[in-house]
């Protein structure tokens, strides 16, 4: 101790913090992928005003958008042990909550969170596709599903791409909240390392640089995909 | 008597309080080109869209060659059956923006008509060639001119080999210098005795291409005649007024 800023310590702990990357990426990717599926169904329920499901989707989106992510994470994290206790009690099973890794709860929490936001953005993208496209597809005899899958959704996806990219980058950074549920992602690892030497500032600088680096890589990938997309049409 | 391709009886359609179609009767025979004329808001496009059920009529009966349905019993299945017997050419082209010109033509052949990809491509190339766009086969619609887009749309319709092709103001969205190329293609198609129903505002074109002219006013077809009879000797008073207005506009431009 005694140093104001321990540069050597900051470098030393980088490999340990990097170990959090797989968790960070896993949570972001699973949350995003499942979120797109939820969002797609949510968007279709809303656009076609499917009875009951339309209202439920509205309630779900409103709740998720109206509560902080960290609260949602803690709710899922504490709701599950209670749910499993209830199942054990009701069905006489002996499921042990410790069998389920904490990261699984995070998959659920981030998927539900992403699903709500993506419901709204996918809905907007589908509505942004020219209405004539659906009519043209129907006029040649395609069913509504064929028209959706082959004509409307590919165009909606293209419209969505910049929104999706921004959302994914945001999601990747939001995974830093998963440490509140004891998941050893980048932020969790940084906290562990920081705690060993009580050098928090150094560890968080590492964390910041790692997130920044990941986001720069992502932005490059997105720029590449967008460029290729422009060329194809 | 030739084969009947379209027969509509007493078709009614309301949008809220707006009674757009007030009991329309229309017959189109095989190989015929029928031009549907009338002032804006007379219900021409709505009538067209009641055939392939992009609009659902409120009352009346429709027969598309071998398939009949009544307005009160329209469901998903009826819509598909009606659409699989017809094809439509839209005012705004309606080309699939995410598909190339060739894919626009082959799409429904593959997904709806269940043809193999190679067979669909063969058919697609044949019909693109017919409208003179084989060279543009792999271009996306955004890179085509309005006239080219509409020609692709026409070849897409032809490739489906429908009982009838419905044209909804096919040249209204085109720049004036592009109208000619599209009209030439439609004329060529008419010469091949493809059954067509064309909503248009282009009187000269209607006169030139149609075997029969149907005139709509206030939600009804009030006069049906051959083009020469219709343009030189209209029977109905409202038809006479309409043509007078049109001829006046013509004389102004001179």
DSSP per-residue letters across A76-128? HHHHHHHHHHHHHHHH-----GGGS-HHHHHHHHHHHHHHHHHHHHHHHHHHH
Q: Which of B126, B128, B127, B146 is nearest to B137 (CA)?
A: B128
B129-143 average pLDDT score: 95
CA torsion B228-B234-B240-B244 (nearest 10°) is 20
pLDDT at residue number A232: 62
List of chain B residues whose C-beta atoms are within 8 Å of the C-beta of residue A133: 94, 96-97
The answer to whether residue B252 scores a pLDDT higher than 70 is: no
Q: How far is A30 from chain B (nearest CA, A)?
A: 28
pLDDT > 70 fraction of chain A, expressed in percent and rounded: 98
Q: Which of B249, B240, B139 is nearest to B202 (CA)?
A: B249
B98: contact with A, CB 8 A cutoff = yes
**pLDDT band at residue B149 using 50, 70 and 90 as cut-offs:** very high
Q: What are the pLDDT digits (tens) for B18-64?
A: 999 999 999 999 999 999 999 888 899 999 999 999 999 999 999 99
The answer to whether residue B159 scores a pLDDT higher than 60 is: yes
pLDDT at residue number A214: 96
The answer to whether residue B125 scores a pLDDT higher than 90 is: yes
Print burial letters for B190-217: b (CB count within 10 Å at least 16), e (below 16): beeebbbbbbbebbebbbebbbbbbbbb
CATH of domain A21-183: 1.10.3720.10
B74-100 average pLDDT score: 95
Interface test with A, best of B74, B89, B94, B152 (most A CBs within 10 A): B94
Give the Cα separation of B152 and B148 in Å (integer). 6
Q: Is A27 exposed, middle or buried (0-12, 13-18, 19+ CB in 10 A)?
A: buried
A176-188 average pLDDT score: 90
On average, the pLDDT of chain B sits at: 93
Q: How far is A34 from chain B (nearest CA, A)?
A: 25
A188-205 average pLDDT score: 92
Let me know if residue B164 belongs to a domain. no
Q: How many domains does chain B have?
A: 1
The answer to whether residue B168 scores a pLDDT higher than 80 is: yes
Of residues A139, A143, A154, nearest to B98 (C-beta): A154
What CATH number is associated with residue B67? Answer: 3.40.50.300
Let me know if residue B136 belongs to a domain. no
pLDDT at residue number B58: 96
Print burial letters for A71-102: b (CB count within 10 Å at least 16), e (below 16): ebbbebbeebeeebeeeeeeeeeeeeeeeeeb
Give the Cα separation of B6 and A110 in Å (integer). 56
The helix or strand, by DSSP H or E, that contains position A215, with its residue range, turns out to be: helix A200-232
Full residue range of the structural domain in which residue B66 is found = 1-85+202-254
pLDDT > 90 fraction of chain A, expressed in percent and rounded: 73
Q: ∠ at Cα A118 (B95, A65), nearest 5°?
A: 145
DSSP annotation of B156: H
Q: What are the pLDDT digits (tens) for A47-99?
A: 999 999 999 999 999 999 999 999 999 999 988 888 888 888 888 888 888 88
Comparing A94 with B196, which gets the higher pLDDT?
B196
A105-111 average pLDDT score: 95
pLDDT at residue number A68: 96
Give the Cα separation of A123 and A44 in Å (integer). 7
Phi, psi of B153 (to 5 degrees): -60, -40
On average, the pLDDT of chain A sits at: 92
B237-241 average pLDDT score: 91
**pLDDT band at residue A231 using 50, 70 and 90 as cut-offs:** low
Q: Which residue of A has its CA nearest to B159?
A: A140
């Amino acid at each position: 101790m005694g140093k104001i800023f321990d540069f050597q310590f900051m470098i030393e702990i980088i490999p340990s913090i990097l170990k959090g990357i797989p968790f960070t990426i896993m949570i972001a990717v699973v949350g995003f992928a499942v979120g797109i599926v939820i969002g797609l169904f949510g968007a279709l329920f809303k656009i076609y005003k499917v009875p009951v499901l339309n209202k439920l989707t509205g309630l779900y989106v409103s709740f998720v958008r109206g509560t902080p992510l960290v609260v949602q994470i803690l709710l899922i994290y504490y709701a599950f042990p209670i749910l499993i206790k209830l199942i054990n009690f009701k069905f006489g099973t002996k499921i042990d909550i410790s069998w389920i890794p904490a990261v699984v709860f995070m998959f659920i929490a981030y998927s539900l969170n992403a699903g709500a936001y993506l419901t709204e953005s996918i809905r907007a993208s589908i509505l942004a596709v020219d209405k004539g496209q659906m009519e043209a597809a129907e006029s040649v005899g395609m069913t509504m599903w064929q028209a959706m899958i082959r004509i409307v959704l590919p165009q909606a996806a293209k419209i969505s791409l910049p929104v999706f990219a921004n959302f994914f980058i945001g999601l990747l950074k939001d995974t830093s909240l998963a440490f509140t549920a004891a998941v050893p992602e980048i932020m969790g690892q940084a906290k562990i390392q920081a705690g060993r030497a009580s050098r928090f500032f150094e560890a968080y600088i590492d964390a910041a640089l790692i997130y920044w680096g990941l986001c720069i890589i992502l932005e490059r990938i997105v720029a590449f995909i967008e460029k290729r997309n422009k060329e194809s049409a | 008597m030739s084969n009947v391709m379209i027969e509509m009886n007493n078709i009614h359609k309301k949008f809220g309080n707006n009674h757009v179609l007030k009991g329309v009767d229309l017959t189109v025979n095989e190989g015929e080109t029928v031009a549907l004329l009338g002032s804006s808001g007379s219900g021409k496009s709505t009538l067209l869209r009641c055939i392939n059920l992009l609009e659902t009529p409120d009352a009346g009966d429709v027969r598309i060659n071998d398939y009949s349905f009544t307005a009160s019993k329209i469901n998903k299945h009826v819509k598909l059956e009606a659409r699989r017997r017809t094809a439509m050419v839209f005012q705004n082209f309606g080309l699939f923006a995410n598909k190339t010109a060739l894919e626009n033509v082959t799409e429904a052949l593959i997904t709806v008509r269940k043809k193999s990809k190679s067979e669909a491509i063969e058919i697609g190339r044949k019909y693109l060639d017919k409208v003179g766009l084989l060279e543009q086969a792999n271009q996306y619609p955004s890179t085509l001119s309005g006239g080219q887009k509409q020609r692709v749309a026409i070849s897409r319709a032809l490739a489906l080999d429908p009982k009838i092709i419905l044209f909804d103001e096919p040249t209204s969205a085109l720049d004036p210098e592009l109208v000619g190329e599209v009209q030439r293609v439609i004329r060529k198609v008419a010469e091949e005795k493809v059954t067509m129903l064309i909503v248009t505002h282009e009187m000269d074109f209607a006169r030139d291409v149609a075997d029969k002219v149907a005139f709509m006013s206030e939600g009804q077809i009030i006069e049906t005649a051959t083009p020469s009879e219709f343009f030189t000797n209209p029977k109905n008073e409202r038809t006479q007024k309409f043509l007078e207005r049109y001829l006046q506009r013509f004389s102004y431009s001179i």
